[in-house]
Amino acid sequence: MSAQPSPPPGVSAAMGSDLEPIVVEGRNCWRIERAEKARMIVDAADYFKLLKELMAGAKERILLIGWDFDPRIALEPDADGKGESLGHYLLALARAKPDRDIDILRWNFGGLKHLLVPRIVAMILRWKATRSISFRLDGAHPAGCSHHQKVAVFDDHLAVCGGIDVAASRWDTRGHRDGDTRRTNPDGKTYMPWHDSTMILAGDVGRALAELGNERWQRATKKALRDVEGDGETWPDTLDPDFTNVDVAISRSRAEYDGYPEVREIEQLYLDMIAAAKRFIYFENQYFTSGKIAAAIAARLDEDDAPEFVMVMPKTADGWLEQMAMDAARVKLVRSIAKAKHGDRLRIYVPHTAGGDPIYVHAKTAIVDDRLLRVGSSNMNNRSMGLDSECDVTIDAALPANHGAEPVIRKLRESLMAEHLGVDPAEVARAFDASGSLIAAIEALRGPGRSLELLDLVAPGPMDDFIADNELLDPTSPDAMFESFAGRGLKKSWRRGKSWMKRHRPFRRRGR
């Protein structure tokens, strides 16, 4: 991370040296480890191209862990969405270097439907014949939970962690062009524009993520991965890092299962971020249905010096069931937050293409006061807090090694906002400097065409309302799935969030 000038007056200049860290090992993260290099990757076109290079450069092992994985997709699609498939590319890698392990782990329930697709089954059989490629399904979780992490590890020292699945309907450029025929799935159907993010990290944090991946593999398969040296430098020469020599926190969610205890670091970090924010939190997230998180935001918005909360989200959830469960809960929570003293300091925006079509937001990114950057797999729903296995990485400028990271984090936020608003990042910077407000900057810059629109809070219907109120498809824990209606629901989750914020007011006053 090269030296950067201090932010000019009017920007979020809360410097890490003046603050206590939000990330605390053992409280809201599993490990804090050094990254020799780190870079945020936005949207899957850049990530899939990078992934090809990282896999080709791996010497001993490629480990791919995900919620979804489709060997039919083209990592670099042509004008018709076609090209060399991921499955054939992996076969070529196996032939080129037979002693390099290629290990693939994906969620079992989601993977079962792929076993009904002849092309996928045929490819898996071809992989098996190579002996270099091992494809396994992960069912090491309670019923109703899922394995949702998206982690790739190369030679046990370089890793990618974030929200992008190596799957269909994910590839898109940051331009999110209308009618881009490259957004065509293996079945020949086109899909909507898609926004996503991930983080590439090298060094000790990569080794820690390798340890996490190795543990997950062993839990799912009952077999350990072989040891590798993992000391080679595989960072691409053409990729400039955003950060160098920074400490990175790794946070997880995991349901209790098979002798492994429950882990809720993801949820704790969300709550601690909300409690610590001084000026704003900028979220990009697929869902907002956690009553506990919503209540924590509402409690902050009842304060006289309340920060702003800006969320960039999809217009509707992806899939009919998800729409019934997630969209209705989001509307109910936002309407409840609006009753706070400064409820207007929460805004939810939907990005649109130049032609006015909504862009699906799958990213799970958060930026606090331009002093903390978080990228991962977790949504702001109950499942990500305690049911599904998740993994997020965070760079907190208040950690001693990270002092001076704030201008870099700010530039990344400006780049994200500029992408959604269809303007240059410099325009975002000027608008924010003029007002000191994210909301004011967005309102000054948004307009017709490629831009952000306020979410239309359509009232849920009776069935949607019932599902949302009782958290039927988004329970707070595996046990909650089997509780009576009297013991569960949005209102109870809301009260838990309010109670947490009351107990932790001293935590905020200490500067976290």
DSSP-assigned beta bridge partners for residue 25? 29
pLDDT in tens, 252-273: 999 999 999 999 999 999 999 9
Average pLDDT for the chain: 89
320 burial level (CB within 10 Å; 0-12, 13-18, 19+): exposed
The DSSP code sequence of 315-381 is SS-SSHHHIIIIIHHHHHHHHHHTTSTTGGGEEEEEEE-TTSPBPEE---EEEETTTEEEEES--BS
pLDDT in tens, 128-146: 999 899 999 999 999 888 9
Share of the chain above pLDDT 90, in %: 74
CB distance 44 to 172 below 8 Å: yes
- Band (pLDDT 50/70/90 cuts) for residue 281 is very high
Which has the higher per-residue pLDDT, 430 or 318?
430
- In the predicted model, what is the mean pLDDT of residues 30-51? 98
Query: Does position 13 have pLDDT exceeding 50, yes or no?
Result: no
Do the domains 250-509 and 33-244 match in fold?
yes
Rounded to the nearest 10 degrees, what angle do helices 328-337 and 462-469 cross at?
70
pLDDT at residue 458, rounded to an integer:
65
- Domains of the chain, residue spans: 33-244, 250-509
Looking at the domain that runs over 33-244, which CATH code has it been given? 3.30.870.10
DSSP SS3 for 455: coil
pLDDT at residue 19, rounded to an integer:
87
- In the predicted model, what is the mean pLDDT of residues 212-222? 95
- Band (pLDDT 50/70/90 cuts) for residue 474 is low
**Do β-strands 280-284 and 133-138 pair in parallel, antiparallel, or remain unpaired?**
unpaired
Q: Measure the CA–CA gap between 369 and 352, rounded to whole angstroms.
A: 25
Q: Measure the CA–CA gap between 140 and 38, rounded to whole angstroms.
A: 30
DSSP SS3 for 492: helix
Q: Measure the CA–CA gap between 194 and 183, rounded to whole angstroms.
A: 9
Nearest to 380 by CA among 253, 499, 286: 286
Query: Does position 62 have pLDDT exceeding 90, yes or no?
Result: yes
Q: Measure the CA–CA gap between 449 and 178, rounded to whole angstroms.
A: 11
pLDDT at residue 459, rounded to an integer:
63
Helices (H), 222-307: 265-276, 291-301
Name the class of domain 250-509.
alpha beta
For 402, residues 6+ apart whose C-beta sits below 8 A from its C-beta are: 16, 243, 246, 247, 395, 396
pLDDT at residue 500, rounded to an integer:
77
Query: Does position 8 have pLDDT exceeding 60, yes or no?
Result: no
pLDDT at residue 1, rounded to an integer:
43
**Half-sphere exposure of residue 262: CA atoms within 13 angstroms, side-chain side:** 16
- At 172, which helix (H) or strand (E)? none
Query: Does position 4 have pLDDT exceeding 50, yes or no?
Result: no
| DSSP tally for the chain: helices H, then strands E | 16, 18
- Band (pLDDT 50/70/90 cuts) for residue 498 is confident
- In the predicted model, what is the mean pLDDT of residues 386-396? 96
- In the predicted model, what is the mean pLDDT of residues 322-343? 86
Q: Measure the CA–CA gap between 164 and 180, rounded to whole angstroms.
A: 19
Query: Does position 182 have pLDDT exceeding 80, yes or no?
Result: yes
Max mean pLDDT among 227-231, 257-261, 316-320, 346-350 falls in 346-350
